[in-house]
Amino acid sequence: MDREGIRYFVKYRVDSDKIFVKLSQGDLIIESLLSIATTEKLTSGWINGIGAVNFAELGFYDFHHQKYFKKQFSGDYEINNITANIAMKDGVPFIHAHITIGDMDFNVSGGHLFEGRISAAGEFVILPGSIPIDRIMDDHVGLALWSLGD
C-alpha cells in the first residue's frame, strides 16, 4: 500500500510466547498493531516499544469532565517508551496505549496515544495473553475499562 509516497508494510515474527514487530517509515502505530492483533486473533496482551515519530496525537483524560483533551505533535520525536495493552471492546481487539516522546532539546511530552506515524523505525514486542479480557463501559469513569469478572 502507498501512503503519501511511502511504502507501507508491517513486518512481524511470532516467537513461542511473543511477537516481534518492526514498523517502518510512514507506518501508523495503532493501526499497525491493531492489524497484527486482528490477524493473530489476540484477545489480550501487553505491548512495549521504542522508535521515532514525525506525528503523534496525544490525549489527557479529564476525569471530572469525562473527556480527552488532545494535542498533536508534528516534527521529529524519539519514542522514549510506548506501553499498551490489548483487550476486546465490542467484540473486536482494542489497543489502549500511552507514549512518551522527546524532542531534540530533550523536552518530553506524554499521554494517551491516539495515533502516531513512524518517521524512522519502530520496534515493538507484543506479549499475547492466554485469556480473553473484555472492556466494559464504566459510567463513573466514563471509559470502557477492563472487566475481570467484577
Q: Can you give the pLDDT at residue 9?
A: 59
Q: Can you give the pLDDT at residue 5?
A: 45
Helix%, strand%, coil% for the chain, nearest 5: 5, 65, 25
Instruction: Give the CATH class of 2-147.
Output: alpha beta
Q: Where are the domains of the chain?
A: 2-147
Q: Can you give the pLDDT at residue 20?
A: 97
Rounded to two decimals, the pTM is 0.91
Mean pLDDT, the chain cut into blocks of 10 residues (150 residues total): 49 94 96 96 98 98 96 98 98 97 98 97 97 96 90
The angle at the Cα of 140, spanning 138 to 142, to the nearest 5 degrees, equals 60
